[in-house]
Each structure stands twice: as structure tokens, then as C-alpha cells.
């Protein structure tokens, strides 16, 4: 069961005495967040808004919406990062209390069968508190457990869908990576960014799943999209409008380099990059988006829609360095932005 750190919400309100607060978080938590907002409103006699727009990560805070409803504090629930607050945004943890003991036992047997000796443990925001226990169990069973230090916004052992520092820097020292949790999205990201055997430990189904097959399929599709974009003459270059996705310098760099190859570039600004929105641009041959890499890597579009690592691979080929582009390597990076 997911447990939101409500004590921190109540303590923050008591201390700062806001007149209006707002909450947001991932879709799956909106029910719990709504109930929390109701309780806050009742207990403190203040207005509490639930910002119900889609929210996919800590890059997607929607501070504009909080400003528009005059909220003094925006409680962002469920996407924990190493920074606890900034400006009027307060990050609220939402932990899943499901235990991993049984699935860890299964994992130990599978790792032994596969001859794995050294591993590293990764997870997403919801299961960070389980990492130390998992490491202890694995060490007690004779495995070498490599450190997975946090970096930037990432806590130790944490990965986002586009940022993998703890996994990436462990990759050369391990035979396999263990992802705690039910998020195929994050586990596949780990497999793609490291190129290592990645096992996802799903405590709900009590299953250990190897995700490298899914990763391989996504990688193949992402690589194909790069080659489809090679002949594109008119390219739509999309900057994301979400708080943490506005990367104007990146846009500038890619635009200059594309124009140097005679491509014509249209600059587009979008909040949600979807097939439906892109269909409006029927004169464009291919798109590059610098918003969220997973839109391109996991999504399906009728025209090529490249993420940042795909765009730089395309530029490498256009620059005449195609012989240096390794299919196996182009997504092996600590950060895809
Ligand atoms: S850019 Fe995409 S993958 Fe990265 S944190 Fe934001 S939503 Fe997640």
C-alpha cells in the first residue's frame, strides 16, 4: 500500500500558515492526494486544490497551475528527489510498504542459476526504503553488491525514466542490475542505459522478470527512427513547456547543427508531445523533441520523433561519422537529456 508522508504536509502547513495550497502527483496517486487535500482543507480551513493535469515526473511540477490558483505552497507528491523543497514547491514522499522478502529469495536462486556474482540494486522513488534490506539479503547470500551513489537530483540507488547515474556508474563492475519495483518503464530504462542484464523484482506478482527483451525491441525501434529521419528535409524541433523540460540551449545547439547540413528547422513549443498534436504539422518530415526522451523511445508515431540521444546520433551520421555509431551503444548514457 502506498503511504504518503502526510505528517510533512501537516507540519509544513502549521509552520508556514498558507492561505491556499495545491497538490499534484502521478495519476495513480490522485485518489489518495484528493483525500489528503480534503482533510487539509477541513483541518486548517483553507482552500486546497488538486491539480489534476497529467504529471509524469519531477520535471513536471506544473508550478504555473499552482500560481494561477494563487497557491502559497505546491505539494508535489510521489516523485521524491534529493532536494526536499525549492521556492514554494515541497516534495512529499509516497512510499510503498510492500515487502520484497519473498521475491528476493526467488531472485537469489535465479542469480545463482545464471552464474551472476556481482550486482547493483536500483529502484524508483516508491521503494527507496527497501534498498538497504535488499542489499543485505543479497550480500548474506554471497553476492558482491556494488555501490550505487546518487548524483544530481537522484538519491542513492534511484533512477528516473531518463536519468540513470547510479546504474550507469555501476555497470562496469557488475554482472547484473536488480531493479526493485513493478515499473517496467524504469527497469527497461536501466537495461537500455547500461546494456547489462536487468532483473525486475515485482513484489506484487512475486516475480523476477528479465526486461532486456523489451529493451532490445525499443532500442531497435529507436535506431530505425534515426535512419528514417536521415533524409528528412524539414525538421520540427520541439521544446517541452513543462517546468523541468525547457531546454533552450539544447534546441539552439541542435538547430545550428541541423541547419549546417542544409535542413530547414521549425521551432515548436508544446506541453504534451502527442501524435495528435504533431499531426497539425503536415509539412514536417521528422521531429526532434528535447522534452522527455521516453516520449520517443516508448511511444509510437507515424513520423520519426527523435529524443536527444537519437538526435545526436543522427547528427553524428550527418557529420560523416556514421562508422562510429554503434547500435549497441547509442543509448548507453547516464542521462538522456
Ligand atoms: S523527462 Fe520524462 S523520463 Fe525524465 S523525469 Fe521527466 S517524465 Fe520522467
Looking at residue 321, its pLDDT comes to 87
Confirm or reject: Cβ of 185 under 6 Å from ligand 1: no
In this structure, what are the phi and psi dihedrals at residue 225, rounded to the nearest 5 degrees?
Answer: -60, -35
Pocket test for ligand 1, best of 192, 245, 294 (most atoms within 8 A of CB): 294
Q: What is the pLDDT of residues 271-312, one digit of tens each?
A: 999 999 999 999 999 999 999 999 999 999 999 999 999 999
- Does 212 have pLDDT greater than 90? yes
Mean predicted confidence (pLDDT) in 124-142 = 97
Mean predicted confidence (pLDDT) in 15-32 = 97
Q: Please identify which residue in the block is written with the cell numbers 529493451.
A: 215
- Does 28 have pLDDT greater than 90? yes
Mean predicted confidence (pLDDT) in 81-94 = 94
Looking at residue 45, its pLDDT comes to 97
Looking at residue 146, its pLDDT comes to 97
How far is CA 73 from each of CA 18, 42, 55, 95, 328, rounded to the nearest angstrom? 7, 17, 17, 21, 45
Confidence bin at 328 (pLDDT 50/70/90): confident
Q: How many residues does the chain have?
A: 337
Mean predicted confidence (pLDDT) in 321-326 = 81
Confidence bin at 160 (pLDDT 50/70/90): very high
- Does 327 have pLDDT greater than 90? no
- Does 324 have pLDDT greater than 90? no
Average pLDDT in the chain: 96
> Which among 293, 199, 164, 194 has a CA at the least distance from the CA of 238?
293
Cβ 227 vs Cβ 244: under 8 Å: no
Looking at residue 76, its pLDDT comes to 98
Looking at residue 94, its pLDDT comes to 97
Distance 217 CA to ligand 1 centre (A): 20
Domains defined along the chain, listed by start: 2-94 (3.40.50.11840), 101-210 (3.40.50.11850), 220-324 (3.40.50.11860)
Confirm or reject: Cβ of 297 under 6 Å from ligand 1: no
Pocket test for ligand 1, best of 25, 26, 60 (most atoms within 8 A of CB): 60
* Integer Cα distance of 244 and 241 in angstroms: 8
Confidence bin at 322 (pLDDT 50/70/90): confident
> Which among 189, 213, 226, 176 has a CA at the least distance from the CA of 326?
226
Mean predicted confidence (pLDDT) in 161-169 = 97
How far is CA 51 from each of CA 54, 60, 70, 77, 258, rounded to the nearest angstrom? 9, 12, 12, 11, 38
- Does 89 have pLDDT greater than 90? yes
Mean predicted confidence (pLDDT) in 152-180 = 97
Q: Give the pTM.
A: 0.95
Nearest-atom index, ligand 1, CA of 56: 7
Confirm or reject: Cβ of 56 under 6 Å from ligand 1: yes
Distance 142 CA to ligand 1 centre (A): 35
Mean predicted confidence (pLDDT) in 113-131 = 97
Looking at residue 84, its pLDDT comes to 92
Percent of the chain residues past pLDDT 90, beyond the cut: 96
Confirm or reject: Cβ of 240 under 6 Å from ligand 1: no
Q: What is the pLDDT of residues 36-87, one digit of tens each?
A: 999 999 999 999 999 999 999 999 999 999 999 999 999 999 999 999 999 9
Q: 300: Cβ–Cβ under 8 A, 6 or more apart, which residues?
A: 275
Looking at residue 326, its pLDDT comes to 83
Q: 262: Cβ–Cβ under 8 A, 6 or more apart, which residues?
A: none
Mean predicted confidence (pLDDT) in 180-203 = 98
Looking at residue 323, its pLDDT comes to 81
Distance 188 CA to ligand 1 centre (A): 14
Strands (E), 125-272: 144-146, 176-180, 197-202, 207-210, 234-240, 264-270
Looking at residue 288, its pLDDT comes to 98
Amino acid at each position: 500500500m502506498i503511504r504518503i508522508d502526510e505528517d510533512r504536509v501537516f507540519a509544513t502547513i502549521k509552520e508556514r500558515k498558507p492561505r491556499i495550497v495545491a497538490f499534484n502527483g502521478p495519476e495513480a496517486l490522485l485518489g489518495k492526494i484528493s483525500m489528503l487535500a480534503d482533510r487539509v482543507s477541513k483541518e486548517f480551513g483553507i482552500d486546497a486544490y488538486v491539480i489534476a493535469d497529467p504529471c509524469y515526473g519531477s520535471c513536471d511540477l506544473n508550478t504555473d497551475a499552482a500560481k494561477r490558483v494563487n497557491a502559497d505552497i505546491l505539494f508535489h507528491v510521489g516523485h521524491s528527489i534529493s532536494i526536499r523543497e525549492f521556492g514554494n514547491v515541497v516534495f512529499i514522499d509516497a512510499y510503498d510498504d510492500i515487502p520484497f522478502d519473498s521475491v528476493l529469495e526467488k531472485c537469489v536462486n535465479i542469480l545463482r542459476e545464471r552464474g551472476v556474482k556481482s550486482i547493483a540494486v536500483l529502484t524508483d522513488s516508491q521503494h527507496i526504503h527497501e534498498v538497504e534490506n535488499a542489499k543485505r539479503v543479497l550480500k548474506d547470500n554471497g553476492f558482491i553488491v556494488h555501490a550505487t551513489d546518487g548524483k544530481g537530483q537522484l538519491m542513492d540507488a534511484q533512477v528516473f525514466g531518463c536519468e540513470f547515474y547510479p546504474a550507469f556508474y555501476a555497470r562496469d563492475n557488475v554482472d547484473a542490475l536488480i531493479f526493485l519495483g513493478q515499473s517496467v518503464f524504469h527497469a527497461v530504462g536501466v537495461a537500455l542505459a547500461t546494456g547489462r542484464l536487468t532483473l525486475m523484482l515485482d513484489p506484487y506478482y512475486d516475480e523476477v522478470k528479465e526486461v532486456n527483451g523489451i529493451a532490445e525491441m525499443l532500442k531497435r525501434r529507436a535506431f530505425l527512427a534515426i535512419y528514417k529521419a536521415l533524409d528528412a528535409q524539414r525538421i520540427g524541433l520541439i521544446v517541452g513547456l513543462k517546468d523541468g523540460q525547457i531546454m533552450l540551449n539544447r534546441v539552439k545547439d541542435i538547430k545550428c547543427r541541423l541547419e549546417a547540413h542544409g535542413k530547414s528547422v521549425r521551432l515548436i513549443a508544446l506541453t504534451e508531445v502527442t501524435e495528435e498534436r504533431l499531426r497539425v504539422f503536415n509539412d514536417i518530415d521528422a521531429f526532434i523533441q528535447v522534452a522527455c526522451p521516453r516520449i520517443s523511445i516508448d511511444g509510437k508515431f507515424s513520423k520519426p520523433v527523435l529524443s536527444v540521444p537519437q538526435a545526436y546520433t543522427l547528427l553524428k551520421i550527418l557529420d560523416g561519422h556514421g562508422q562510429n555509431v554503434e547500435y549497441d551503444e547509442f543509448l548507453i548514457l547516464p542521462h538522456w537529456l
